[in-house]
């Protein structure tokens, strides 16, 4: 039975900002962005985890939860926290998660919805055949040890050099598709082994590939700059670093338990184990995490190439340019203004999206005057959204926004409540085609297992974390 959050424990600072002031060992407040309804839908463990994060050394400003927050490993999903290495700040494997650099990329097709509906069955079957999905799925690519190492250092650039996609894709990916300072010496042989046959695969759980229609435009000028037009079709890919990322997270979560004890960091929750950023263990994890992030970026790049090939077979020659690629589970070293100072901070985003505002130097030139595309995934049968970053979020969330709807029940609870085949049939009645290797996986990811993504996005906008640009509705969903 889920224990829902007691809203009376929080102080309401604005329409959507709720604060728990520091108590006990907390060094900073805990801040949630949510409506009263979304807070009451959250597990009480979200607040418990935020208070634990707020007690960690070197935390800056506050421990934050996005509107889609729910209980996770160590950090809540939807958790954001920044740490100052010069003030003894820490890095936590639980603050990044097991699927390192899990994220979403969206591609433009230029096709109108009626063109795709005319070949919907054929396209669904072709995509399901072309992109391996499900637990333990493997692809056609077999990596040698030297190729694995190149991929872990070069990320999406390695994939492009292998013929998967185009060099211009790299400009539309965070870190230009290659997270710097990856450290191969901190990737175990077991992690490498788990990935050697998994490149170009979706995996399982909440991962998906969706063919989506732009059904509503909220900001016509920004939508046009992003290449989004009502009635046109886009493709979104949601996946991460597969077995390699999971192995890295597993190994370093265990190592950090020892490191916390060695460095005298009191830990009330073993899942929140951490190490000082300026320590042997902290630097090793960051190097390994960056390599795993490059694995995820390369994986999504390969899948996008397979999608292009599939559309070319079904519809004829077409480009499918990349709109953007965002990571949801990452720790990034970033520059942030804190009062009258500029600090280098290590920002953990776990189930949260970077949302840079206009003028940021990291943005592609064509988006620099507009802001970063922020891609918000739906829940198989529900809407997805494209938002844009705004500068107001710098002081509110370290330039972060939500990443999806957020679960309201566990996978096991969902599997007890729904049957996968029934979910598929109901969605087919709405002309949404589902292709999955596992009926149980469909049941676990049933739309009713999640909060309403439209509510989450509305609160995100009202909180000034990002602004709505367009709403997407699914026509085809290939489920992991």
- What does the pLDDT average to over 141-164? 95
- What 3-state class would DSSP assign to 11? strand
What Å distances lie between residue 4 and 47, 262, 301, CA to CA? 10, 36, 39
Q: Are strands 59-70 and 30-33 parallel, antiparallel or unpaired?
A: parallel
In this prediction, residue 1 carries a pLDDT of 54
Q: What is the pLDDT of residues 24-34, one digit of tens each?
A: 999 999 999 99
The yes-or-no verdict on residue 133 having pLDDT over 90 is: no
CA distance 18 to 95: 21
CA distance 266 to 261: 7
- What 3-state class would DSSP assign to 12? strand
- What 3-state class would DSSP assign to 436? strand
pLDDT band at 134, cuts 50/70/90? low
Place of tokens 């010069």: 86
Question: Residue 185: phi, psi to the nearest 5?
Answer: -65, -15
In this prediction, residue 90 carries a pLDDT of 98
Give 247's contacts (C-beta < 8 A, 6+ positions apart): 188, 190, 191, 194
- What does the pLDDT average to over 146-155? 96
Contact by Cβ (8 Å): 393, 400: yes
The yes-or-no verdict on residue 135 having pLDDT over 80 is: no
The yes-or-no verdict on residue 263 having pLDDT over 80 is: yes
Domains and CATH numbers, the chain: 7-479 (3.90.1860.10)
Write out the E strands in 351-445.
Answer: 353-354, 373-376, 384-389, 400-401, 433-436
Contact by Cβ (8 Å): 448, 419: no
Q: What is the pLDDT of residues 342-369, one digit of tens each?
A: 999 999 999 999 999 999 999 999 999 9
Q: pTM here?
A: 0.96
User: For residue 434, which of 378, 383, 479 has the smallest C-alpha distance?
Assistant: 479
User: For residue 308, which of 325, 323, 295, 321 has the smallest C-alpha distance?
Assistant: 321
- What does the pLDDT average to over 264-287? 96
Q: What is the pLDDT of residues 293-350, one digit of tens each?
A: 999 999 999 999 999 999 999 999 999 999 999 999 999 999 999 999 999 999 999 9
| Whether 403 is catalytic | yes
CA distance 33 to 200: 35
CA-based diameter of the chain, in Å? 63
The yes-or-no verdict on residue 64 having pLDDT over 90 is: yes
Give 282's contacts (C-beta < 8 A, 6+ positions apart): 90, 91, 259, 274, 275, 276
Number of CB atoms found within 10 A of residue 222's CB: 21
* Enclosing H/E stretch for 478: strand 466-479
How many degrees, rounded to 5, is the angle at CA 50 between CA 44 and CA 53? Answer: 145
pLDDT band at 162, cuts 50/70/90? very high
CA distance 329 to 100: 5
Q: What is the pLDDT of residues 369-416, one digit of tens each?
A: 999 999 999 888 899 999 999 999 999 999 999 999 888 778 888 888
The yes-or-no verdict on residue 140 having pLDDT over 90 is: no
Annotated active-site residue in 246, 328, 348, 403: 403
In this prediction, residue 204 carries a pLDDT of 83
pLDDT band at 441, cuts 50/70/90? confident
Residue 103 CA, chain-centre distance (Å), reads 4
pLDDT band at 285, cuts 50/70/90? very high
pLDDT band at 128, cuts 50/70/90? very high
CA distance 462 to 476: 30
- What does the pLDDT average to over 133-151? 84
And the tokens for 94? 């639980």
């Amino acid at each position: 039975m889920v224990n829902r959050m007691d809203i009376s424990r929080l102080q309401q600072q604005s329409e959507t900002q709720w604060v728990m002031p520091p108590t006990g060992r907390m060094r900073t407040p805990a801040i949630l962005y949510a409506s009263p309804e979304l807070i009451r839908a959250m597990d009480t463990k979200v607040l418990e985890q935020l208070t634990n994060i707020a007690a960690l050394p070197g935390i800056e400003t506050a421990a934050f939860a996005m509107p889609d927050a729910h209980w996770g490993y160590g950090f809540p999903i939807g958790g954001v926290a920044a740490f100052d290495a010069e003030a003894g700040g820490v890095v936590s494997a639980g603050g990044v998660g097991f699927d390192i650099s899990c994220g979403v990329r969206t591609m433009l097709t230029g096709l109108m919805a009626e063109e795709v509906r005319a070949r919907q069955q054929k396209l669904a079957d072709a995509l399901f055949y072309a992109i391996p999905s499900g637990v333990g799925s493997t692809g056609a690519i077999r990596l040698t040890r030297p190729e694995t190492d190149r991929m872990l250092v070069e990320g999406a650039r390695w994939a492009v050099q292998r013929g998967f996609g185009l060099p211009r894709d790299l400009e539309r990916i965070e870190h230009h598709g290659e997270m710097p300072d990856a450290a191969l010496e901190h990737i175990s042989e077991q992690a490498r082994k788990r990935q050697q046959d998994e490149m170009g695969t979706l995996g399982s759980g909440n991962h998906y590939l969706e063919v989506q229609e732009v059904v509503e435009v909220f900001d016509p000028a920004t939508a046009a700059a992003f290449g989004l037009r009502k009635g046109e079709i886009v493709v979104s890919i949601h996946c991460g670093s597969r077995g390699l990322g999971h192995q890295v997270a597993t190994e370093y979560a265990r190592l950090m338990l020892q490191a916390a004890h060695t460095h005298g960091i009191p830990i009330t929750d073993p899942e929140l184990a951490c190490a000082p950023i300026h320590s042997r263990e902290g630097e090793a994890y960051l190097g390994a995490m960056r390599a795993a992030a490059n694995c995820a970026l390369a994986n999504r790049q390969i899948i996008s190439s397979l999608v292009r090939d599939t559309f070319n077979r079904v519809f004829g020659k077409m480009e499918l340019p990349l709109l953007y690629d965002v990571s949801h589970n990452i720790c990034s070293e970033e520059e942030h203004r804190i009062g009258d100072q500029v600090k280098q901070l290590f920002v953990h985003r776990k189930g949260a999206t970077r949302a840079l505002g206009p003028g940021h130097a990291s943005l592609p030139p064509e988006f620099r005057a507009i802001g970063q595309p922020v891609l918000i995934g739906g829940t198989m049968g529900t809407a997805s959204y494209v938002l844009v970053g705004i500068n107001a979020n710098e002081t509110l969330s370290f330039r972060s926004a939500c990443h999806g709807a957020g679960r309201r029940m566990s996978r096991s609870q969902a599997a007890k409540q729904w049957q996968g085949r029934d979910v598929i049939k109901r969605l087919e009645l709405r002309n949404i085609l589902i292709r999955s290797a596992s009926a149980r996986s469909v049941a676990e990811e049933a739309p009713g297992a999640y909060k309403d993504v439209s509510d989450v996005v509305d609160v995100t906008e009202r909180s000034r974390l990002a602004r709505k640009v367009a709403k997407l509705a699914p026509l085809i969903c290939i489920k992991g």
